[in-house]
Structure 1
Amino acid sequence: MSQQAEREFKNLLTASEYQRLQQAYSFTIPFKQTNLYFDTATQELKRRGWGLRLRLFKDRAEQTLKIPAHGEHDLWEITDPLPLSVAQQVQIQQPSQVSQYLQKYNIDRTQLQLIGYAQTERQQAILSAGLLVLDRTSYADTTFDHELELEVQDTASTSTTFRNLLNTQQIEPRKTTNKVARAVVHFQNISLENQYANLERMLFD
């Protein structure tokens, strides 16, 4: 388990911008990750500005609670590693560091429900400024989008580096909601039957 501070800068991309960036940087081989997002029926986490997810990789998984820090782009992340088979049960696990933090604020695991999910094909490149991330994400309704993200561990850093990167690559700055909000919209757009049929394919295919 771990806790860390992180600063993230994000920008949605067109398909052509995504393809151009693939050629512009030395990205790693793409890998897939599936994110499952949770909240209570009364949106207790959303009201607090928190994000709670299960993230599944090919052979492992983790659960993470994201909590806003001081700046607009700053987050605290509380993460517990999980076996893949446990995460496939689609439940936040306890006892854990995440569940203990939730209980501190009177949020029990049994109050949580799935509110959305997404599967991302991710590529990463290490820059002097931080970790550059290129994502192609599919949602519950089978639509997809593209996104660029810069993750900076040094929370004293500003957004200047990210703005310069966008300018250099001739990418229009776009107001970008987080993946949780996008996943929730796509999840709500389809029938209950399709919500879970598509999730099962993501989890077990």
Structure 2
Amino acid sequence: MSQQIEHEFKNLVTATEFKRLQQHYPFAAPFNQTNLYFDTRTQQLQRLGWGLRLRVFITHAEQTLKVPFGKDRRLQEITDQLPLTQARQVQLFAPSQVSVKLATKAITFDQLQLIGFAKTQRQQAQLSSGLLVLDKTVYADGLVDYEIELEVQQTGTSVTAFQALLTKQHIPVRKVVNKVQRAKQHFSPVQREKWTKNLQQMLFD
């Protein structure tokens, strides 16, 4: 179980820019993670500005609730570890830190439903300015996008460092819709048969 505050700077990139970044920075070997996103039928979490995800890796899984904190893109991340077998059944874990925090807004796990999912191939490189992250993400309908992110503990010069990185790599600033919203855009409850097959492949392949 953990709680932490993070600052994140993000930008969408093209496939060509993505490959160039891979070659320019000392990224570690990529790893895969499948993210499943939840909200209530009435979108209570979205209205609060909160985000709830279940993240599944090859050997373990975790559930994380993101809550806006202060200014400067800060988020409080509340994370619980949970059994991989349970996560692969698309089940959240309670009692937990996440369930306790949700209870402060009178939200229980049985009110939550799947609103989207995606599988991300992630690479990370530790820079002096922070942790540089490259993501290649496949969504429920098969669409793929690419993103660069800089994670830092303090803002300050990190904003300038991220802007300088984009300039150096000739990458224009692009408005980023967060992954939850992107996953929702590519998820249709009506096409359950199709996305169920894709989800099973993401969870077990």
TM-score range, shorter chain: over 0.9
Q: Deviations over 1:145-171 (max 9, x none)?
A: 000000001245552111111011110
Please, which moves more after superposition, 142-151 or 85-94?
A: 85-94
| Distance change (3 Å), C-alpha of 1:114 and 1:27 | same
Q: Within 5 A, what are the aligned runs for 1:1-205?
A: 1-156=1-156, 158-188=158-188, 191-205=191-205
Offset of residue 143 of structure 1: 1.0
Tell me which amino acid in the other structure corresponds to 1:66: K
Counterpart contact for 1:5–1:155, Cα < 8 Å: no
| Distance change (3 Å), C-alpha of 1:142 and 1:24 | same
Tell me which amino acid in the other structure corresponds to 2:145: D
Tell me which amino acid in the other structure corresponds to 1:12: L
Runs of 4+ aligned residues of structure 1 deviating over 6 Å after TM superposition are none
Instruction: Normalising by structure 1, report the TM-score.
Output: 0.97
Offset of residue 29 of structure 1: 0.3
Percent identity reads 59
Q: Deviations over 1:100-144 (max 9, x none)?
A: 100111001000000000000000000011100000000000110
What is the distance in 2 between the residues matched to 1:100 and 1:14?
40
Please, which moves more after superposition, 147-156 or 53-62?
A: 147-156
Tell me which amino acid in the other structure corresponds to 1:78: I
Give SS of 1:27's match. coil
What is the distance in 1 between the residues matched to 2:194 and 2:161?
41
Give SS of 1:8's match. strand
Offset of residue 89 of structure 1: 1.7
Counterpart contact for 1:55–1:61, Cα < 8 Å: yes
Tell me which amino acid in the other structure corresponds to 1:204: F
Offset of residue 72 of structure 1: 4.3
Give SS of 1:170's match. coil
Counterpart contact for 1:141–1:189, Cα < 8 Å: no
Runs of 5+ unmatched residues, structure 2: none
What is the distance in 2 between the residues matched to 1:157 and 1:103?
37
Offset of residue 92 of structure 1: 1.6
Offset of residue 203 of structure 1: 0.9
Counterpart contact for 1:14–1:146, Cα < 8 Å: yes
